[in-house]
Amino acid sequence: MTSVIFDSVNYNASRKNKPLIITVPITEFKAYDRNKNASYQIKFEFEGEEEHVETDKKSLERFELENFYNIQLKLRPGIWNRYLVEEWKIVQ
């Protein structure tokens, strides 16, 4: 329940802030297969922390080597150094 309240407060706070566009190197394309519940992630480092965005298998298969790509994120700052990701795309 606390998580839902925090997410709601963070979302409302972030809507008041101007978006930032950042581009950072992709560190890994990762596929997890947990008992038929597959998860596909694009990993990157932001502000010294490992972060990721979720994607689907088809999107992940288009890219072979993470060393050659960056991820561009459109973020809105929220509260307590948290960000809301509005959109993202992979760029070279």
CATH code for the domain of 68: 2.40.50
Structural domain for 66, as ranges: 2-91
Higher-confidence residue: 32 or 19?
19
Q: How many domains, in total, are found in the chain?
A: 1
> What is the token pair recorded at 42?
């694009």
Give one DSSP letter per residue of the chain, joined into a string: -HHHHHHHHHHHHHHTSPPEEEEEEEEEEEEEEETTEEEEEEEEEETTEEEEEEE-HHHHHT---GGG-EEEEEEEE-STT-EEEEEEEEE-
Task: Tell me which residue has tokens 């972030």.
Answer: 14
- The one-letter amino acid code at 83 reads Y
pLDDT tens digits, one per residue of 47-89: 999 999 999 888 888 887 667 899 999 999 888 888 889 999 9
